[in-house]
Structure 1
């Protein structure tokens, strides 16, 4: 039988990250990173299992060439750290999970051998000694949490030198004993600065040279961080924003700059994107931009959270708009401004009632 490739990307720091940060947001971050790694699979690797913080891929009875395997490893590291950089730059959430996500790292284990399989509820999965060996290689003596490790069996199969060197890779020899058997491998630490991280669009901060046409404030019996979560986590929207048929959003990601959601009102879709503007050093800010309402060209709504105590804060809501045509300007002056203000005040009061009830 021909040898098969076993390939395991594993997120380093997962246990501490999950145990010491906010559960929901840490789950979202890990889920996003696993999705990024799966999408970076260019070698038609089969996903045998998602193992919490790791992915177990294999390629049955086929080993990629040295060039293709190294390219696959580099691509996964590039995708992983590109996504972390995007999360860091576009973060609006102050929680510990979102703040410490950039500290996560990645290690990849690659091995090969003849596979057996078992079938569980109709799912055929790799099984046997080589699978065990690949997973044991995760418990190695490499003094880093950010590396790629290739078993000596695989390195010899693809003729990868023990001291292969390139811009991204600088392999060294290593070995560890498992159940009294010495298992040699080569490994390389990964320097993020040598990866060609993907560029991403970073939404600009929007600042206005005038006061907001509508500005409302209200105190809330909850911390600024908690109130921001109620507003930026769209699963809570229907509990305090009335008159909306539904909210459509990606429930697998933490809201950040550039995040999009849709309000469906009477069958009409209003598209929103998350933006920001400058606020005071102790304040938090969340903003939304929409170009959907026909009576304006752009409508901005900003929520500013100012801590008062550990368990209370002041919420300020500012609404700005751009309307170029005289007809739109007239409509806003006669009807639009009053409607925006009424709806905003009602939503703030509904949010206050929801928060007060939830606190008790």
Structure 2
């Protein structure tokens, strides 16, 4: 560790962010970016301080202390792999085909790394770094490197030792020299390395396990005069759930996360009854959108799941709701006929309420709510 009155400035910046938010849905894109920024902050292994989160980037600093270059490179590698492992996992578990969810996998990271002198100013008790070197590191976010994923080290770092002493963990580095001139700053010399070689260590997640379906599920159908995408958003977005899932007094879920396979939520009914659900999906054929939920604590069943199968019909959507129950031996077999009649009745009411909730909103309103953008 070097302590020489110089400070580390370290910015991971999400690339593809502007295109992402300019083409995708506001709520889902916000949640996805929020998750990624939290992940970047949590990946900090060299005890840097967070100055601020800047929309699509995080400004870290380490005052009067600059770690060895090998440590800094390992931090870059850690953050990059955490970021892409998360995106791979999300891609394998996503249930939504909206622009935000389907293009999140295309996001990546670049890193701007500099050492210099910083001072501090205090704003309402919050200490914030400032100074010429801080201005420089932000200017370097806009540069002439023709890559979307890279690390940039200013000439304040000597990379000679790094080049001459590659370990197996840094052998992927291949530095190139670059320079750029900024108004009021002048020429800046830097070294940069592509991060694309790191993709070889990104883990491929196991595909989600599909639950076994039963031969004769409980089934109800309804036609809804809205496109599939709008109906799917109504079904899968917990923010809308109490509009049509009547009988539930409270829904407990993570409001800042996009629903995906494995997401859990709780339905509170009255004062004493709590039902736990987990999002799932299944294969019901091509051209259909499917949303599913496993019931986690049905005492007479080994497993049970609701599925909403959506398919296009003329200008609207045919919704088939199915309940698949695998009863436990003896007691489950005995009560299954009664349970199926109860589910059948409730399912018919449920999808009629879904139809009413969807059709009471105009199509432009619901579609527009999916396609707003923000930064």
TM-score normalised by structure 2 residue count: 0.90
Distance apart, 1:207 and its partner CA: 4.1
Q: CA deviation at 1:43?
A: 1.2
| 3-state SS of 1:208 partner | coil
Q: 1:269 to 1:199 in 2, by over 3 A?
A: farther
SS of residue paired to 2:313: strand
- What does 1:17-32 correspond to in 2, within 5 Å? 17-32=20-35
Confirm or deny: 8 A CA contact 2:214 2:324 kept in the other structure: no
| Structure-2 change in CA distance of 1:151 and 1:164 (3 Å) | farther
Q: Does residue 83 of structure 1 match 2:86? A: yes
Q: List aligned pairs for 1:121-270, cutoff 5 A.
A: 121-155=124-158, 160-161=162-163, 166-179=170-183, 181-191=186-196, 194-198=199-203, 200-208=205-213, 210-212=215-217, 214-266=218-270, 267-270=272-275
1:276 matched residue in structure 2: 281
Q: Deviations over 1:205-248 (max 9, x none)?
A: 23436131x01110001111111111111111111111213111
Distance 1:42 1:278, change over 3 A: same
Residues 247 and 261 of structure 1 are in contact (CA less than 8 Å); yes or no, is this contact kept in structure 2?
Answer: yes
- Change in CA separation of 1:282 and 1:247 when aligned onto 2, cut-off 3 Å: same
Q: Is the 8 A contact 1:175 1:182 kept in 2?
A: yes
1:323-334, aligned counterparts within 5 Å?
323-333=327-337
1:298 maps to which of 285, 289, 303: 303
| Runs of 5+ unmatched residues, structure 2 | 364-375
Alignment TM-score, normalising by the size of structure 1 = 0.93
From the superposition, tell whether residues 195 and 4 of structure 1 become closer, same or farther in structure 2 (CA, over 3 Å).
farther
- Residue 358 of structure 1 and its aligned partner are, at CA, apart by 1.5
Deviation of the 1:302 alpha carbon? 0.7
Cα separation, 1, equivalents of 2:100 and 2:149: 20
CA gap 1:226/1:69 in 2 versus in 1, 3 angstroms: same
Displacement, 1:199?
A: 5.5
Q: Distance in 1 between matches of 2:344 and 2:298?
A: 15
Contact 1:164 1:170 in 2 (8 A): no
Structure 1: which 5+ runs fail to align? none
How much does 1:170 deviate?
1.6
Supply the RMSD in Å over aligned alpha carbons: 2.0
How far off its partner does 1:341 sit? Answer: 1.4
Tell me, yes or no, if the aligned pair for 1:164 and 1:171 is still in contact at 8 Å.
no
Distance across 2 between alignment mates of 1:305 and 1:263: 23
Higher RCO structure (Cα 8 Å, ≥6 apart): 2
Q: Does 1:119 align with 2:122?
A: yes
Distance 1:269 1:203 in 2: 26
